[in-house]
Amino acid sequence: MNPGVPGPELAGVLRFAFTRTQGNFSLKAAGDFGSGITALFGPSGSGKTTLLNCLAGLFRPDDGEIVLNGRDLYREGSRTFIPPDKRRIGLVFQDGALFPHMNVADNVMYGWRRTPERDRRVNVDHVVELLGLQPLMKRSPDSLSGGERQRVAIARALAMSPGLLLLDEPMASLDGRLRGVVLSYLRRIREDLGIPMVYVSHSISEVLALADDALVLSNGSVVASGRPSHVLLDPALGGMFQDDPIENLLDGTVSEPGGAGMPGRVRVGAADVVTPPTGRPADTPVIMALGAEEIILATQQPSGLSARNVIAGSITELEPVGDRLYATVDIGVRVLVALTQGAVDALNLEGGQDAYLVFKTSSIKLLDAAPAGPI
């Protein structure tokens, strides 16, 4: 493995404005994003994968420009087109697309070996540790679970020291438990390596939990862009997402496992949440999934309830979407609560107001997360 050093030069800015026509479909896209995670969101056929392929260099736009870290990857006027293998862009597909004839170690090292020495900035041993791959290095891809395959695919992409990481619905084929693991690993990559990412997803919940920016596509056009909580809850887009229930995907740590008729407890932000028995020992990291529709909001501390959780917080935002509103409540982490307009009016809700979140233990699902440890 290589002792390269991750550096701040990996973080960068992505800017693009181009069109791409293929058959009867035409994509017209523009965006300008920083060094965090940008989500591409929209219904099937909206142009998300086409946009990703143009950024990767797999498709060539008809006109416009694509610029990463100040470097022209494509520019119509100067006839610039950097081929995919020269862009230093990592691409992770839905199924991982690992090389079946290579073991995990060789898959991970493939990208590093193809990267010129002067461009190697990522410590591959660090990536292996970051993604928890040490026990898997000698195994073949066909012996891996879906979550393990995705982690190997992400490590292979990171090993090439990319200036940008593109992820095409990396959790689409995973069950809920494995989604939590991959989600938490992506958060670690953002925090630890600072490599910008573009993340394609159909899930509002994933985007709200992960992304710093969002670009919403519909019928080949950008219809909204900006901070995910504002963009995805924009009333003008409410019809597009009304059938997609919103889950809060919150980092937590088991404080009491529960069992033998006793509930578990999980620390989330500043709150001690009563959960179903966790099936995990104390101090285990988890992701707590809690639907926005499953939470009752109160302006005074209630009592005499069958619900075990009454969590104090403060309302930071109220966003309308269709015939609903979503309150963002700060309990040490941000939690979205679905409300009706009638409830907001009756309670005279407004930003800055104290509030209590009320929900049952049965409303909570606990997902596996990345193991704890230094990153």
pLDDT one-digit tens code per residue, 172-196: 766 666 677 778 878 877 777 778 8
> Can you give the pLDDT at residue 267?
97
228 within domain boundaries: yes
Residue that is last in its domain, among 177, 203, 234: 234
Residue that is last in its domain, among 234, 264, 290: 234
**Of the candidates 142, 146, 162, which has an alpha carbon nearest to the alpha carbon of residue 56?**
162
**Of the candidates 85, 5, 102, 17, which has an alpha carbon nearest to the alpha carbon of residue 51?**
17
Residue that is last in its domain, among 207, 234, 261: 234
Q: Spell out the per-residue pLDDT of the chain, length 375, in tens.
A: 433 433 434 334 889 999 999 889 999 999 988 888 999 988 888 999 899 999 999 999 999 999 998 899 999 988 899 999 888 898 888 766 788 999 999 999 988 888 888 878 888 888 888 778 888 999 999 898 887 888 888 888 888 888 888 998 877 766 666 677 778 878 877 777 778 889 988 788 888 888 888 999 999 999 888 888 777 776 666 556 655 678 899 999 999 999 888 999 999 999 999 999 999 999 999 999 999 999 999 999 998 999 999 999 999 988 877 667 889 999 999 999 999 989 999 999 988 999 999 999 999 999 888 765 443
Q: How far apart are CA 324 and CA 334, in angstroms?
A: 18
375 within domain boundaries: no
2 within domain boundaries: no
323 within domain boundaries: yes
Q: What are the tokens at 211?
A: 């992304």
In total, how many domains does the chain have?
Answer: 2
Say yes or no: 223 and 99 in one domain: yes
126 within domain boundaries: yes
Say yes or no: 286 and 339 in one domain: yes
Q: Helices 146-158 and 176-193 meet at what angle, rounded to 10?
A: 20
Q: Which domain holds residue 60?
A: 8-234
Q: What is the pTM of this model?
A: 0.78
Listing DSSP states for 140-183 in one string gives -GGGS-HHHHHHHHHHHHHTT--SEEEEESTTTTS-HHHHHHHH
123 within domain boundaries: yes
Q: Is 73 within 8 Å of 249 (Cβ atoms)?
A: no
Q: Which residue has the tokens 């709200």?
A: 208
Q: Over the range 223-243, which residues count as b (16 or more CB within 10 Å of their CB) and which as e? A: bbbeebbebbbbeebeebbee
Task: Give the side-chain half-sphere CA count within 13 A for 202.
Answer: 12
Task: Give the side-chain half-sphere CA count within 13 A for 13.
Answer: 4
Task: Give the side-chain half-sphere CA count within 13 A for 242.
Answer: 11
